[in-house]
Structure 1
Amino acid sequence: MTEEILVNVTPRETRVAVVENGMLQELHIERGWSRGVVGNIYKGKVQRVMPGMQAAFVEIGLDRAAFLHANDIQRAQPVRDDGAADAFPVPAPVPLITELLREGQDIVVQVVKDPIGSKGARLTTQISIPSRYLVLLPQSRVVGVSARIEDEGERARLKGLVTELAIPVGSPGYIVRTNAEGQPAEALAEDVAYLGRAWALVERQVRDAAVGSCVYEDLSLPMRAVRDLMRRDVEKVKVDSRETCERLRAFAAQYMPALGPAEAGLAEKIEHYGGARPVFDLYGVEDEIKRALEKEVPLKSGGYLVIDQTEAMTTVDVNTGSFLGQRNLEETVYRTNLEAAQAVARQLRLRNLGGIIIIDFIDMHDAEHRRQVLRTLEKSLARDHAKTTVYDFSPLGLVEMTRKRTVESLERQLCEPCHECGGRGMLKTAETVTYEIFREITRAVRQFEAARLLVIASPKVVARITDEESATVVELEEFLGKSIRFQADTQYLQEQFDVVLL
């Protein structure tokens, strides 16, 4: 599998695309005026404690107060007789929020979820700072290893190295990231030193900063992309800004050295793209972005997906479409569902859809077919950086799954609700609006005195009234004893109208 990372930089927007085998898999966007705050650490103040919700609102300097639940508040770890923290403490009951926080209290918090829609940011006091190979846990003493590193020997080696580097009493805890697999002790030691300096800076900032100040800000999008997305199997990172390219090469040279003389460092894979054709156009990324904003996703077989994102969940419906198959109905359905499982995994990652996701595969009677479709979905999700959990087919034949959501979906980053339908996706027909106007005319005449009436509405509605409903208008004028005039205004949307008494 060939994988490339494309970085497109403009003065107010930066976009990073992950392309695998020529197909866009992920898109990350950062705009100067709306940069995400996930990972940032703030010195905040408790604004309001809500015992009924076991939570509190904390002022951290954003437009809306942020949300902190009792489960996300760091508490003291059990300590054994030998002075070490228990690596697997027995979960203690969560204390009441009123025992943990009080209104007006200063508190150091980290954002774990950006403000989404009408909801404020989600916070935690369980601080973590990531580097290339490790995640620092300043308030913990546990050393853990990513579950994605499956080789037991490698897990033991990495845990032993990091534990040895963190020998001093009272040293913080660490999580060993997937990227650390195969890395030498020197690379891990550099990360430990870097994280130590970063945390010391945060502690100084906390002492000196005012409430509502950001005391630690995560790296910019291009830097995060190199840190989190760039693996040894990435062939190239193409950057269309020479200045950004040089910064990324310097960053990679410092934090991602070569494993040995025979291997090139990751910095050498970062190259400046100076072609006349935009880099996203060259790889077809712009066209893929347009398609990722549509509800329907065509499948190569002739089937298609229909993806609907709502406030509560995302639903994916699988249809055979024009795919007729060659054997029988069950085989046709099975082949369509297998293709759909791979397409769903890619679309979730590309559109950055999170939360609860319901997939309505086409009904299959064969239990083995259902197992294979589920296995294909899980395998296709394996390269997804976001945490996913997939459940078995429900009695109704639906697959329920969750995908961790930390930022807005692609659609909500790039689009806004339709100004005409308000995001419903549907408009009242001209006929419906016509009858609403007739009812409003009757209501207005009964309430107020007027010699005549003027109705202002959209051209389509007025055209329908004066054409198809002209006889109804005459009858209404005779019944009310009033003259009614209709005026078309292009500024009016289809559902808008005004009845003016003259």
Structure 2
Amino acid sequence: MAPQREVLVLVECDPMETRIAVLENGKVVDLEVEREPRIVENVYKGVVKSVIPGIDAAFVDIGLEKCGLLYVSEIVPSGVGVSGNTDKNQFHSIRDAVREGDEVLVQVTRYGGPRKGARLTTRIGIRGHYCVLLCQGSDHVGVSVKITDDNLRERMRKLGEQLRPLDCGLIIRYHAANATPEAIALEVEQLYKRWQKIVKDFALSPSPSLLFSRPSIFADLLWDIAPPDTKRIIVDSEEEAERIRALAKELRMEFVDRIEVYKGCSPLFEHFNVEPQLRTIFEPIEPLPSGGYLVIEEAEAGTIIDVNTGRYIGTKNAAQTIFQTNQEAIEEVVRQMKLRDLSGIILVDLIDILHSRDRSKLMRMFEQLVKRDRTPTKIVSLTPLGLVEITRHRRGESLWKVMTKPCPHCRGLGRVKTALTLSIELRRKIRSFAATLSPNETGEIVICAHPEVASWLVLEEENMELLEQQIGRTIVVIVNPSFPQEHFTISLRSSEAIQPSLVGAEFICSLKALLPPEEPMFAVHGNKLVRLNVEGDNKDFVTVHVVEDGRWFCEGEVKTTTKVEARWSWGT
């Protein structure tokens, strides 16, 4: 008899990062990490910058670093801002559709990555909990493939025909299966009003402009991330828990009483043993229960996952050993796609399958498992070489690429965590350390870290103040430039310990070496960070006068500009 399924959703809120984990019987099966809101589903008023007949596409400025790419097949003849005219449902070429300087209404359908612009469409889709409103050029009514009962599908399709606005299409989502027609009708009405507001804002807004943002991560939590049978949604912040409750009253009333605030001393993810499970998502090798393992390698063109039997030798015969390993591998591949947020083209190299009946069983199992993925995922085929071809919708960079950067020592052949990521992890380690201290152990917590990691840690004073409030102790930050970035120490010392004062000290520093590089603000003198105000100063070297001591950093003033010959290499 299968064990009873117990589903928990954990929400860990940090000022710089929100993490949501779904646990089934204690095992992490889904993960969402957000530092900046994703752009897929955002609607923009864009400007056509160039028309490229060779690829039948136009580059559209939507206000991001790179222009988005709009193919002619994604342009609706009657779309808002589309200047071309045609008697057909589709333009023949990009020159017939738009011209340089045209202002068009577009939506991001796919994240382009660091080297490409986002993919755009004029076929706007506005997502709700029960349905998706298809605006511009569609009168289609569809039903989610996750609804498999034929009678229910037909009933949902007829309901969609009744509810859709005359100038829009409608897709009925899986969640509508258990909803009342009145609830679905109310949502359709709300989505249509939102569409009318977008059209109105298009006429009044400058270009480029963001007209509509995708639902927040908490809306995604209630709509898609939390399974229907979720027992508890545990949040480590009273304020954010109230926000989620208020949102649940609008979106998922059944979840309101399941939301609770975590009161423990140790960090939420550590208390529920999530952190140890997440450490492996940056590793290329993922072990399987019976002794086999996966090798996961992300590349520019796609992701390759190799299945190996490892030390597993089975108990019966080779066919059974191969089938058992492949079965475990398929379950873990689907899990890892969600945890690592893999997308695009994914190739899974299963161990050679000896019997055709085993092949059919494994592929049916694969199909069933990917249906549970909230991100659209399609198994394309099983090639004669035993490669399972999968495509998974690209919402953004994978977690591995977001949370790491190319290693400066191996020039990108390997990767290390960014200083920002390390500083966020250091915040968690501080909370963990404080949770181990008894009330009798008094004093202040001393952090010694690499200067760049420390600079990210103390960059926002309100975040440090919040951290001190959470742990109930003061924090002193010192730096050691000789530390590797990932190395740090945390210790407890008496609050009466004498800290040498740097007030009155003067030193020369290079403005090009201020930390962190993305927000240059801190110089390093001895074992302390010194905050400077050097906006608009384009000199290379300056003399700094320390005017005030501090627990996290000292305050410094730029005294004079210093001319230093290029042959000298000054430190910070």
TM-score category by the smaller chain? 0.7 to 0.9
Q: CA deviation at 1:20?
A: 2.2
Q: Call closer, same or farther: CA 1:220–1:332 in 2, change over 3 Å.
A: same
1:63 is paired with a residue whose SS is coil
2:94 aligned residue (91, 94, 97): 97
2:115 corresponds to: 118
2:302 aligned residue (303, 313, 316): 313
Structure 1 position 107 matched with structure 2 position 107: no
1:153 corresponds to: 151
1:197 corresponds to: 193
Contact 1:5 1:238 in 2 (8 A): yes
Q: Call closer, same or farther: CA 1:256–1:364 in 2, change over 3 Å.
A: closer
Work out the CA distance in 1 between the residues paired with 2:395 and 2:122. Answer: 17
Residue type of the alignment partner of 1:381: V
Residue type of the alignment partner of 2:157: K
Work out the CA distance in 2 between the residues paired with 1:404 and 1:160. Answer: 28
User: What are the superposed Cα offsets for residues 299-341 of structure 1, whole Å, 9 maximum, x if unpaired?
Assistant: 1111111011110121111111111111222322221111111
1:173 corresponds to: 169
Question: 1:302-341, aligned counterparts within 5 Å?
Answer: 302-341=291-330
Work out the CA distance in 1 between the residues paired with 2:147 and 2:176. Answer: 9
Q: CA deviation at 1:2?
A: 2.7
Q: Call closer, same or farther: CA 1:75–1:22 in 2, change over 3 Å.
A: farther
Residue type of the alignment partner of 1:113: R
User: What are the superposed Cα offsets for residues 425-470 of structure 1, whole Å, 9 maximum, x if unpaired?
Assistant: 39xxxxxxxxxxxxxxxxxxxxxxxxxxxxxxxxxxxxxxxxxxxx
Contact 2:22 2:226 in 1 (8 A): no
Structure 1 position 7 matched with structure 2 position 5: no
2:51 corresponds to: 49
Structure 1 position 19 matched with structure 2 position 23: yes
2:383 corresponds to: 394
1:35 is paired with a residue whose SS is coil
Work out the CA distance in 2 between the residues paired with 1:109 and 1:143. Answer: 21
Q: CA deviation at 1:373?
A: 2.2
User: What are the superposed Cα offsets for residues 181-208 of structure 1, whole Å, 9 maximum, x if unpaired?
Assistant: 1211221122122212322221221111
2:331 is paired with a residue whose SS is helix
Contact 2:73 2:90 in 1 (8 A): no
Structure 1 vs Structure 2 CA RMSD: 2.1
Work out the CA distance in 2 between the residues paired with 1:221 and 1:401. Answer: 26
User: Which range moves more in the overlay, 102-111 or 66-75?
Assistant: 66-75
Work out the CA distance in 1 between the residues paired with 2:37 and 2:145. Answer: 30
User: Which range moves more in the overlay, 385-394 or 285-294?
Assistant: 385-394
1:376 corresponds to: 365
User: Which range moves more in the overlay, 354-363 or 299-308?
Assistant: 354-363
1:35 aligned residue (34, 37, 53): 37
Work out the CA distance in 1 between the residues paired with 2:334 and 2:119. Answer: 26
Contact 2:75 2:91 in 1 (8 A): no
2:64 corresponds to: 62
Question: 1:338-417, aligned counterparts within 5 Å?
Answer: 338-417=327-406
User: What are the superposed Cα offsets for residues 82-111 of structure 1, whole Å, 9 maximum, x if unpaired?
Assistant: xxxxxxxxx966521111111110001111
Contact 1:7 1:240 in 2 (8 A): yes
1:465 corresponds to: none
Structure 1 position 424 matched with structure 2 position 428: no
1:468 corresponds to: none
Q: CA deviation at 1:359?
A: 1.4
2:210 aligned residue (208, 211, 214): 214
Q: Call closer, same or farther: CA 1:57–1:303 in 2, change over 3 Å.
A: same
Work out the CA distance in 2 between the residues paired with 1:159 and 1:375. Answer: 27
Work out the CA distance in 2 between the residues paired with 1:106 and 1:93. Answer: 19
Work out the CA distance in 2 between the residues paired with 1:329 and 1:232. Answer: 40
Work out the CA distance in 2 between the residues paired with 1:391 and 1:283. Answer: 37
Structure 2: segments with no counterpart, 5+ residues: 80-87, 416-566, 568-572
Work out the CA distance in 2 between the residues paired with 1:73 and 1:407. Answer: 23
Work out the CA distance in 1 between the residues paired with 2:29 and 2:227. Answer: 15
Residue type of the alignment partner of 1:153: N
Contact 1:60 1:66 in 2 (8 A): yes
User: What are the superposed Cα offsets for residues 462-492 of structure 1, whole Å, 9 maximum, x if unpaired?
Assistant: xxxxxxxxxxxxxxxxxxxxxxxxxxxxxxx
Residue type of the alignment partner of 2:302: M
Q: CA deviation at 1:130?
A: 0.8
2:202 is paired with a residue whose SS is helix
How many pairs are equivalent?
403
Residue type of the alignment partner of 2:245: R
Q: Call closer, same or farther: CA 1:256–1:51 in 2, change over 3 Å.
A: same
Structure 1: segments with no counterpart, 5+ residues: 78-90, 258-264, 427-499
Contact 2:76 2:89 in 1 (8 A): no
Work out the CA distance in 1 between the residues paired with 2:233 and 2:268. Answer: 11
2:469 corresponds to: none
Higher relative contact order by CA 8 Å / sep ≥ 6: 1 or 2? Answer: 1
Identity of aligned residues (%): 39
1:483 corresponds to: none
Work out the CA distance in 2 between the residues paired with 1:386 and 1:251. Answer: 22
